[in-house]
Structure 1
Amino acid sequence: MIPDRHEAGTFALASAITGGDVTIHNTNYDHLEPLLYKLAQSGVTIRGTHDPIRVSADYPLRAVEVQAIHFPGFPTDLQPQICALLTQATGESVIHERVFEARFTYVEELRKMGAAIQVSGEKAYIRGPTPLHAASVRALDIRSGVALLLAALAAEGSTRVTDMQHVFRGYESLPEDLKALGAQIEME
């Protein structure tokens, strides 16, 4: 069975947004390389070029430009998650979504948490670092829900994410897995 690059990428991004240090097993480095390259460009430390991969982050992170495209490029399914991370990077990051129209619908939910993001057509401009704060936000789909969970990990206070059923369609046990890494998550 091929390891899930989106799940592995989500844990790499969770480590980066929290300033954590996580070793990810059962990975395919080649499938993660576009994400790992952007993480390294932003100042995240990546150790290992095959299974396992260790991801650790020390702030400050640097702004980067991301082109979300088809495989083998940067995965559009990790675009909302890296957007959440880039709210914590110094400077202006740019995400260019080249696969899906209206992929930035989640941005309004991140703004409720204090994110400074402007969308113009296929591009999002993220100003950081922005202190994120608690808010009640809504998962609009799988990827936006995961992005909101990651933002909540970096936010001050307790954030409520509704419509989590979207996330569970793609990540069976994400809240439990994040809790195992030290996140404080309560499910209703």
Structure 2
Amino acid sequence: MINAAIDRLCRLIDILIGLALAVMVVLVFGNVLLRYVFNSGIAVSEEVSRWLFVWLCFMGAVVALKEGAHLGTDMLVSRLPVAGKKVCLVLGHLLMLYITWLFLAGSWQQARINMDMEAPVTGAPMGIFYASGVVFSVLAGILLLFQLVRVLMGQVSDSELVMIKESEEQAELEALQAELAHGHAQGDGAGANPSGGTAKGPRS
């Protein structure tokens, strides 16, 4: 049930991100067109686009956190036993929760301080700009807590113990390198005779 609610939330965020991108395209492209054709522009275009871009980034980060698409490497963790992977996963979540708490505290302070300040063009409270960090921190904290509880209760499969996955291109490259190395090893073994010398063909 909780998984379904999180999936619906992420789909809603994806829709909002798409709408934000559409509004940004209309504002920016329309502003450029108006300036070149009519020598005028949309006054709020730059400010609203900047605010939408910030909110878009933070909301996209929530979806990336849920899907494990944030930056990272599995070079070490993927080679650990299951117990080691669980320990690293728990430690990683605890560190991320602490950093998320710090981010929430800072964003909340900035939002409160700037709530009485007006944006220069739209006149909207500047606290809305910093509230993006508050919303991100709350949603990210909920996701991290839910994932941590699943790990501690043993509800995570072995394939989910590595949060970060290498890209498909990297995985294909590593598989190709392993195949080539295996092929070279077989070729070297076939080119040598049991006595250690080089195999020779029959003399005419």
Say which structure is richer in helix: 2
Coarse TM-score class (shorter-chain normalised): under 0.3
Which gives a bigger RCO, structure 1 or 2 (Cα 8 Å, sep 6+)?
Answer: 2
Larger Rg computed on CA atoms:
2
Q: TM-score, normalised by structure 1?
A: 0.25
Say which structure is richer in strand: 1
Q: TM-score, normalised by structure 2?
A: 0.24
